[in-house]
Amino acid sequence: MISLDTLSAFLAVSEGDLIEELFLALLASPQLAVFLEKFPGLKKALLADLPRWKTEMLAQLKQTEVPADLADEFELFRQCQALGNKAFCQKLPEIMLYLANHQSPFLEKARELVAHIGEGHSMSAPQQTLFLQRWRLSLTLQTLSLNHQLLDEERDKLLAELQQRLAMSGQLAPVLSDNSEAAAGRLWDLSKCPLQRGDYQLLVDYGDFLGQQPMLQKLAEQLGRSREAKAVLSEDAPLETFHQLVREPESVPEEVSGLHQSDDILRLLPPELAALGISELELEFYRRLVEKRLLTYRLQGEAWHDKVSLRPVSHQHHDEQPRGPFVVCVDTSGSMGGFNERCAKAFCLALLKIALADNRRCYIMLFAHEVIGYELTAEDGIAQAIRFLSQRFRGGTDLAACLQAVLIKLAMPQWNDADAVIISDFIAQRLPEELVKNIKKHQLLQQQRFHAVALSDHGKPGIMRIFDHIWRFDTGLKSRLLRRWQR
């Protein structure tokens, strides 16, 4: 079976030009023009995707097979092109019968051309050439019609996808970023899987919940890497004058500047000396002497001076530490259900928000009896985020297996600079010593950081000692009421 691409190439039909015209008309459609005017970031992301769409659409056209009737007629046309005038005249009745039986669009024109031949006469060479030219034109029009039909179908599919992705990006941008315009373009890249409105409504709901728990957002922001100032000192740097205020003893008589408690018996107040002369108060005097609680004069004999010295010139510059990705482990045990579950998921959403703002990657691991991973910043990140938020926390707690999976992840080059974040109530079994040693090795040699987000005050201290930072978010009823009252 002949392909549409082969037929188009033979008939000099430019599929690339047809696709280009399709996209120009699509971008000018009222459905998109208004939306793209409102969100320039989305327009930029959409235009960046156009080459990929054009390539995919062209590949689709190349793989499409031509209908059998059109393919057979095209094959007959090719055979007739190679015939001489005499052979063509002999085959002409067969050609006309074929066109009539298959109801070819060229039939009427063919009958008109044949009618100009006198009865009993054969078709001349110029008439044969005209017949083949008109037949070729008819095949070209049929091919163009087929191309337009396929492109119209692809356009409708593409328009539906665009409308869905634009609507989703516009709605989720305020949820996942403080800068809706900047986030909209990034969300476009994460929404390549088809989604329904009911799917991403779950993200909106958890975004609303996160807005009601500002402490969770604050904790997430504190997990980001900070900037570190480094002093650069050249060995042959010139010397510069350095002024510094220092406190040094004055060469003037001491002056009384107040009273204080001490054990300085040379500066005792008269009432303290009187107590020493009373036998009943003598032991009390010695006790206060040992405790340095006797009332004495405070003497002033120091002052601030401007000390001038020379030192090499040094300059401060700020090197931004690599803002690594997030590898987040979420405890999905039964004890993490209810409000804890909502807080854990909202905290992951806050980390995703930071990852989008800083162009970082965010990988979620759910651990119970097994470890399941979701990369929220992949091309289908929104779909993976929805699957993660749809999970229910009902399993056990296998923290050791989760941490082992984290170490394997951190050993990969693209995740080597990641921050590991464990969200749990840390009511779990003791960790194996070998695992603890491996974690310490990563912390010391690789400078990788492990954070604990504790949602309970009953976590085992022995487990939590392995973490560089412990962030606590009490989910108890008293704390929840207090936070609500503070809002």
| Residue-level pLDDT at 425 | 85
Q: Is pLDDT of 401 > 60?
A: yes
| CA nearest neighbour of 191 among 223, 216, 163 | 163
**The CATH number of the domain covering residues in 322-486:** 3.40.50.410
| Residue-level pLDDT at 426 | 84
Q: What is the pLDDT of residues 46-99, one digit of tens each?
A: 777 777 777 877 777 777 777 888 888 888 888 888 888 888 888 888 888 988
Question: What is the phi/psi pair of residue 84, to 5°?
Answer: -75, 175
Using CA atoms in the order 466, 472, 473, 478, what is the torsion angle rounded to 10 degrees? 120
Query: Minimum mean pLDDT among 18-22, 73-77, 258-262: which range?
Result: 18-22
Q: Is the pTM of this model over 0.75?
A: no
Q: How would you class 2 by CB atoms within 10 Å of its CB: exposed for 0-12, middle for 13-18, buried for 19 or more?
A: middle
Q: What is the pLDDT of residues 457-478, one digit of tens each?
A: 777 888 888 888 888 888 877 7
Average pLDDT over residues 254-266: 76
Number of other residues whose CB lies within 10 A of the CB of residue 272: 17
List the structure tokens of 408: 């394997």
Q: What is the pLDDT of residues 198-233, one digit of tens each?
A: 667 788 888 888 888 888 888 888 766 533 333 333
Average pLDDT over residues 168-191: 62
Distance CA 5, CA 60 (A): 10
Number of other residues whose CB lies within 10 A of the CB of residue 165: 23
| Residue-level pLDDT at 194 | 58
| CA nearest neighbour of 420 among 397, 439, 436, 434 | 439
Which of 109 and 183 is assigned the larger pLDDT? 109
Nearest-Å Rg of the Cα atoms of the chain is 41
Question: Is residue 425 a contact partner of residue 340, using CB atoms and an 8 Å limit?
Answer: yes
Question: Is residue 209 a contact partner of residue 339, using CB atoms and an 8 Å limit?
Answer: no
Sheet with 362-367, edge to edge strand ranges: 371-375, 362-367, 326-331, 419-424, 449-454, 469-472
Q: Is pLDDT of 253 > 50?
A: no
1 DSSP 8-state letter? -
| Residue-level pLDDT at 374 | 87
Distance CA 445, CA 440 (A): 8
412 DSSP 8-state letter? S
Q: Mean pLDDT over all residues of the chain?
A: 76
Query: Minimum mean pLDDT among 44-53, 111-120, 225-234, 398-407: which range?
Result: 225-234
Which of 117 and 111 is assigned the larger pLDDT? 111
List the structure tokens of 288: 């206060």
Average pLDDT over residues 141-160: 79
Could you tell me the residue ranges of all domains in the chain?
1-189, 228-252+301-320, 261-298, 322-486
Average pLDDT over residues 263-275: 81
Which of 216 and 5 is assigned the larger pLDDT? 216
Question: Is residue 12 a contact partner of residue 141, using CB atoms and an 8 Å limit?
Answer: no
Q: What three-state secondary structure class fits 194? A: coil
Question: What is the phi/psi pair of residue 416, to 5°?
Answer: -65, -25
| Residue-level pLDDT at 24 | 72
Say which amino acid occupies 388.
Answer: F
Residue 234's pLDDT band (boundaries 50, 70, 90)? very low
pLDDT cut 70: percent of the chain above it: 72
Distance CA 478, CA 487 (A): 14
Q: What is the pLDDT of residues 298-329, one digit of tens each?
A: 776 555 555 666 655 444 444 444 467 889 98
Half-sphere exposure of 33 (CA within 13 A, CB side): 7
Question: Is residue 71 a contact partner of residue 2, using CB atoms and an 8 Å limit?
Answer: yes
- Tokens 């990852």 belong to residue: 355
- Tokens 């039939």 belong to residue: 107
Question: Is residue 480 a contact partner of residue 339, using CB atoms and an 8 Å limit?
Answer: yes
Residue 240's pLDDT band (boundaries 50, 70, 90)? low
